[in-house]
Amino acid sequence: MKVLITGSSGLLARMLIEHLITKDVDVVGIDIKESPEFLNENLFRFYNCSITDREKLKSIFLEEQPTNVVHFACSFNKVRSRTLEFEIDINGSDNILEISNNTPSVKQLIFSSSSAAYGGKKDNPLWMKESEPLLPENYRYGMNKKIVEDRYSNISVRDDLHLVILRLCLVTGPIFDKPKSAVSILIKFPFLPVFTKETKLQFIHSEDMAALIELIMKDKEIRGIYNLVPDSFTVVKDIVPEKRFVRIPFFLIKGFLWVCWHLKIMNIQPASGINSFYPTIVNSSAIISRYSYKFKYTSKEAFLDTKMYNRIPEKVWF
């Protein structure tokens, strides 16, 4: 098995690469910047390449002949231009699918989608299954994931290329280091709005995410869409009991998020912040039953492990 991973310098990819290298798996990384973590790893090779560069991607696939492709790369709110965001997230994903389909060595393509594609709404049921409609409304990250899912689900590919779409929740763990994120807010901010106190959240630990993706990569039959989340959830007051919960009008929160987004203080789109106040708790019974998987960490334990190591830089906050 040789695994090619797009967005290889991003957090989720680094979590998976670290796991695969310990299993003696050959890994090829593609990103627009190189992570220093794997510079001296014999089992890891890096290519500086954007997923929008179709010709260079073709040459890398031709050179490396991967058997499995894991597609993590996306703009993830870092791009404020909708045109550029579409070019990366949608057209770039089209490139990965097309080139994987035209590379006979590739037998499996995993696309990293998100539970955010379900959309945060007041009437969301608990434990949403894969059959629930995707209604991300105006949250662009969720919208983009839905568009790619639709394209991947409705295109014809060769019979021996298995497409797998994984809807992940927030992924945490000891190496979590994403500033300006929702997890960072929970850890770093001294106070939170009182209406977030009972907000339900799901976190999957990096060890569980990587172990499940490894099982999927070894599965020669799997196709389709799966929620990749733990079989538990937690609530804000239980994971940050030390915080002060203050009464702040909702319109002030919306204004605060709008200002932070446009000044690039946070990578949290205002629509995302608003959606996150409503629970998006999804059901992972399909993937659990397929592998009889037992999670090592609950949602609460996954967050607290991140909180304990806390590698989020201080200097990014205001």
User: What CATH number is associated with residue 211?
Assistant: 3.40.50.720
Least confident of 7-16, 60-69, 75-84, 303-312: 75-84
Largest Cα–Cα distance of the chain, in whole Å? 58
**Which of these, 176, 155, 177, lies nearest to 165 by C-alpha position?**
155
Over residues 179-191, mean pLDDT: 83
Query: Mean of the pLDDT values across residues 202-219?
Result: 98
pLDDT at residue 208, rounded to an integer: 98
The percent of residues in the chain predicted with pLDDT above 90, rounded, is: 69
| 279 Cβ contact partners less than 8 Å away, ≥ 6 residues apart | 120, 124, 126, 199, 200, 201, 233
Residue 318 — pLDDT band, cuts 50, 70, 90? very low
**Which pLDDT tens digit goes with each residue over 101-153?**
999 999 999 999 999 999 988 889 999 999 999 998 888 889 999 999 999 99
Residue 132 identity (one-letter amino acid): E
Q: Residue 316 above 50 pLDDT?
A: no
Compute the distance between CA of residue 301 and CA of residue 318 in angstroms, rounded to an integer: 29
249 CB contacts (<8 Å, ≥6 apart)? Answer: none
Return the pLDDT at 273: 62
- Alpha-carbon distance of 309 to 30, in angstroms, equals 27
* Dihedral angle, C-alpha 214, 217, 291, 212, nearest 10 °: 30
In a domain, 193, yes or no: no
Residue 184: the pLDDT is: 85
Helices (H), the chain: 11-22, 54-64, 82-86, 92-101, 140-153, 182-188, 206-218, 236-239, 250-262, 270-275, 285-291, 299-309
Q: Which of 215, 238, 211, 260 is nearest to 68 (CA)?
A: 215
Rounded CA-CA distance 231/169 in Å is: 12
The residue with greater pLDDT, 156 or 123, is: 156
Q: Looking at residue 279, what is its pLDDT?
A: 79
Q: Which of 68-77, 130-139, 261-270, 281-290 has the highest mean pLDDT?
A: 281-290
Q: Model confidence at 269, in pLDDT bands (50, 70, 90)? A: low
92 belongs to a structural domain: yes
Name the domain count of the chain. 1
Side-chain-side CA neighbours of residue 139 (13 Å): 25
- The more confident residue out of 138 and 186 is 186
Amino acid at the residue 58: K
| Alpha carbon separation from 183 to 2, 164, 195, 227, 248 (Å, rounded) | 32, 27, 17, 20, 20
pLDDT score for 309: 78
> How does residue 313 score in pLDDT terms, banded at 50, 70 and 90?
low
Containing structural domain, residue 66: 2-170+203-229+282-295
What is the mean pLDDT of the segment spanning 278-289? 94
Average pLDDT over residues 218-223: 97
Domain assignment present for residue 160? The answer is: yes
Q: How high is the mean pLDDT of the chain?
A: 90
HSE of 311 in the Cβ direction (CA atoms, 13 Å)?
A: 11
The first and second tokens of residue 1, run together, are: 């098995």
The single-letter code of the amino acid at 191 is F
The answer to the question of residue 275 being in a domain is no
CB 260 within 8 A of CB 189: no
Is 7 inside a domain boundary? yes
- Write down the pLDDT at residue 178: 80
CB 71 within 8 A of CB 106: no
315 is a domain residue: no
Q: Which residues of 172-185 are buried (b: 16+ CB within 10 A; e: fewer)?
A: bbeebebbbbbbbb
Strand partners, 257: none
- Name the pLDDT band for 172 (thresholds 50, 70, 90): very high
Does the pLDDT value for residue 261 go beyond 70?
Answer: no
Q: Is 302 within the bounds of a domain?
A: no
Assigned domain for 253 exists: no
Is the pLDDT higher at 31 or at 76?
31
> What is the pLDDT at residue 257?
73
| pTM of the predicted structure, to 2 decimals | 0.91
Distance of alpha carbon 30 from alpha carbon 95, whole angstroms: 13
Cα separation, 167 vs 230, whole angstroms: 12
Query: Residues 33-75: pLDDT tens digits?
Result: 998 889 889 999 999 999 999 999 999 999 999 999 999 999 8
